[in-house]
């Protein structure tokens, strides 16, 4: 198998109205530490010749356990005060994919998405069935108390007090995702989220939808999105970026900029992380901030939050 010394890992922890004026120092520092920990977990695998697929799962698992982000522990609350998580993973080698939506008990939703990909004939499982599959696969289960945090409960309470109806574009998001390119020249993507605060009626966002919030294809690159999911679904952002790269010859970053401009033109906001099969990576977003980080062979890890960093 041809190998190169080039590997790269790009991660995000959500995009939104994240400015110095609104971000508390503790959240800033905690989120940066979490991003560094996730980069370190994925980079250790990639530097040792591991696969992009394993690296994105490892990075996302770290962020799922970190309550600074809206995935796994620290997930956003539904309108009813519950937790319903979505996740997806995709392998650029053969475009194998797995995803789950509306799950409630799995400590690492991305691990369940991976099981759907590796151990079921399906791509997307939802709700009670997905929860049952998780138990069957003997993945680690957690009580509601593991996922729930005081800060997220406050966000729901504030939204309900305002009479909000499940979709507040000013709220700070916190979905997590990772894209990677390994030394074998393969790419992968993973995304995990608690969705949007106050969601109801079984609402599912873009994160677990292959082609909307998550996509990987060795012929172009890998994408994980974050933002107002309804727009990313309608614009089919993650697939669109790869398609532009393949068919128009744009770089992944150029294609990402075009897709985010499209989301903006539709009235949506958010961002994407990207990596090409050549190992070039980065991000594009149209929000004031996005929790993000990147590390690659021979380059130190970089973490940023605000748009001007």
The catalytic residues are: 175
Helix 127-136 vs helix 109-119: crossing angle, to nearest 10: 80
What is the token pair recorded at 148? 């729930």
195 scored as a contact of ligand ASP (CB under 6 A): yes
Among positions 210-229, residues that touch ligand ASP (CB under 6 A) are: 213, 226-227, 229
Q: Could you tell me the smallest distance in angstroms from the CB atom of residue 57 to ligand ASP?
A: 19
DSSP state, 81? Answer: S
What is the token pair recorded at 266? 């539709």
291 scored as a contact of ligand ASP (CB under 6 A): no
Stretch that binds ligand ASP, among 87-95, 128-136, 201-209, 292-300 (CB under 6 A): 201-209
Q: Is 133 within 8 Å of 125 (Cβ atoms)?
A: yes
Q: Could you tell me the smallest distance in angstroms from the CB atom of residue 84 to ligand ASP?
A: 10
Q: Could you tell me the smallest distance in angstroms from the CB atom of residue 177 to ligand ASP?
A: 8
What is the token pair recorded at 39? 């980069």
Stretch that binds ligand ASP, among 17-25, 42-50, 156-164, 193-201 (CB under 6 A): 193-201
Q: Could you tell me the smallest distance in angstroms from the CB atom of residue 261 to ligand ASP?
A: 18
Our CB check for ligand ASP shows the closer of 198 and 213 to be 213
| Residue-wise burial string across 249-272, b where 16 or more C-beta atoms lie within 10 A, e elsewhere | ebbbbbbbbebbebbeeeebbbbb
Q: Distance between terminal CA atoms of the chain?
A: 38
CA–CA separation, 98 and 88 (whole Å) = 6
Question: Residues interacting with ligand ASP, by CB under 6 A?
Answer: 14, 70, 173, 175, 193, 195-196, 205-207, 213, 226-227, 229
């Amino acid at each position: 198998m041809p190998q190169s010394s080039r590997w790269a890992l790009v991660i995000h922890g959500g995009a939104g109205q994240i400015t110095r004026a609104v971000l508390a120092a503790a959240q800033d520092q905690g989120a940066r530490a979490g991003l560094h920990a996730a980069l370190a977990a994925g980079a250790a695998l990639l530097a040792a010749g591991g696969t992009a697929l394993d690296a994105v799962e490892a990075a996302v698992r770290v962020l799922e356990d970190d309550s600074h982000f809206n995935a796994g522990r620290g997930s956003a609350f539904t309108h009813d005060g519950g937790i319903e998580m979505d996740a997806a993973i995709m392998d650029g080698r053969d475009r194998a994919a797995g995803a789950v939506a509306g799950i409630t008990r799995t400590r690492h939703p991305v691990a369940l998405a991976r099981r759907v990909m590796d151990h079921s004939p399906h791509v997307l499982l939802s709700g009670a069935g997905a929860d049952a599959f998780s138990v069957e696969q003997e993945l680690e289960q957690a009580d509601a108390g593991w996922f729930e945090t005081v800060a997220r409960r406050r966000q729901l309470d504030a939204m309900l007090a305002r009479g909000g109806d499940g979709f507040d574009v000013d709220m700070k998001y916190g979905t997590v995702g990772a894209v990677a390119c390994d030394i074998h020249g393969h790419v992968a993507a993973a995304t995990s989220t608690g969705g949007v605060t106050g969601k109801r009626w079984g609402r599912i966002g873009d994160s677990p939808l292959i082609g909307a919030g998550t996509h990987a294809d060795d012929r172009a690159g890998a994408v994980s999105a974050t933002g107002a999911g309804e727009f990313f679904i309608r614009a089919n952002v993650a697939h669109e970026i790869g398609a532009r790269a393949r068919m128009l010859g744009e770089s992944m970053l150029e294609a990402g900029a075009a897709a985010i401009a499209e989301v903006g033109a539709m009235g949506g906001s958010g961002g994407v992380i990207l990596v090409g099969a050549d190992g070039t990576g980065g991000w594009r977003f149209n929000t004031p901030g996005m929790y993000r980080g990147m590390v690659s062979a021979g380059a130190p890890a970089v973490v940023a939050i605000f748009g001007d960093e």
